[in-house]
Amino acid sequence: MISMTTPPNQEMHEGLVADGGQDELLEIALGPHHPSTHGVFRMDVVLDGERVVKLKPVFGYLHRNHEKIAESASYLASMPYTDRLDYICSLTNNWAYALAVEKLAGLQVPERAEYIRVITAELTRLVNHTATIGFLTQEMGASGTPLMYAFREREKILDLFESLTGSRMMCNYMRFGGCRVELPAGWLEQTKKVVKDFPRFLDEYEQLLTGNEIFMARAQGVGVLKKDLAINAGITGPMLRASGVNYDIRKVDKYGIYDRFDFKIPLGEHGDVYDRYMVRMLEMRESLKILNQALRDLPQGPIMDPKAKIRGFRPKPGESYGRIEAPKGELGFYLISDGSPNPFRYRVRPPSLINLTVLEDMCRGYSIADTIVIFGTVDIVLGEVDR
Partner 1 sequence: MLGEGILKGLVETARNFFGSFVSKDRLTTVQFPEERLPQPEAARNFPFLVYDGDNWQAGMRCVACQICEKECPPKCIFIEKSSDKKPDYTGKQQFYPAVFNIDVSVCMSCQICVEVCPFDAIEMDNAFELSTTDRFGGLLWNREQLAKPNSYFHKIHPATATEIDERLAAAKAKAEAKAKPGADGGASTTPQPDPPPAAN
Residues lying near partner 1 in the complex (CB under 8 A): 73-74, 76-81, 83, 145, 149, 152, 155-156, 159, 162-167, 170, 172, 180-181, 184, 197, 204, 207-216, 310-312, 341
Burial (CB count <10 Å: 0-12, 13-18, 19+), residue 384: buried
Strands (E) located in 227-291: none
**C-beta of 42 vs 154, nearer to partner 1:** 154
**C-beta of 21 vs 317, nearer to partner 1:** 317
Q: Return phi, psi of residue 280, to 5°.
A: -70, -40
Q: 61, 40 in Cβ contact below 8 A?
A: yes
- Kindly state the smallest distance separating residue 156's Cβ from partner 1, in Å: 8
Q: Which of 175, 370, 143, 154 is nearest to 273 (CA)?
A: 370
Calpha distance 170→193 (Å, rounded) = 23
**C-beta of 16 vs 170, nearer to partner 1:** 170
Buried b (16+ CB within 10 A) or exposed e, 298-334: beeeebbbeebeeeebebeeeebebbbbbbbbbbbbb
- Kindly state the smallest distance separating residue 323's Cβ from partner 1, in Å: 23
Q: Return phi, psi of residue 309, to 5°.
A: -120, 140
- Kindly state the smallest distance separating residue 186's Cβ from partner 1, in Å: 10
DSSP 304: B
- Kindly state the smallest distance separating residue 219's Cβ from partner 1, in Å: 12
- Kindly state the smallest distance separating residue 146's Cβ from partner 1, in Å: 9
- Kindly state the smallest distance separating residue 55's Cβ from partner 1, in Å: 31
**C-beta of 175 vs 241, nearer to partner 1:** 175
- Kindly state the smallest distance separating residue 207's Cβ from partner 1, in Å: 5
Q: Name the helix (H) or strand (E) containing 216.
A: helix 213-219
Give 47's Cβ-side CA count (13 Å radius): 17
Q: 156, 194 in Cβ contact below 8 A?
A: yes
User: What secondary structure does DSSP assign to 184-196, as a single string?
Assistant: PTTHHHHHHHHHH
**C-beta of 113 vs 239, nearer to partner 1:** 113
**85 Cα distance to chain centroid:** 9
Calpha distance 236→223 (Å, rounded) = 17
- Kindly state the smallest distance separating residue 106's Cβ from partner 1, in Å: 20
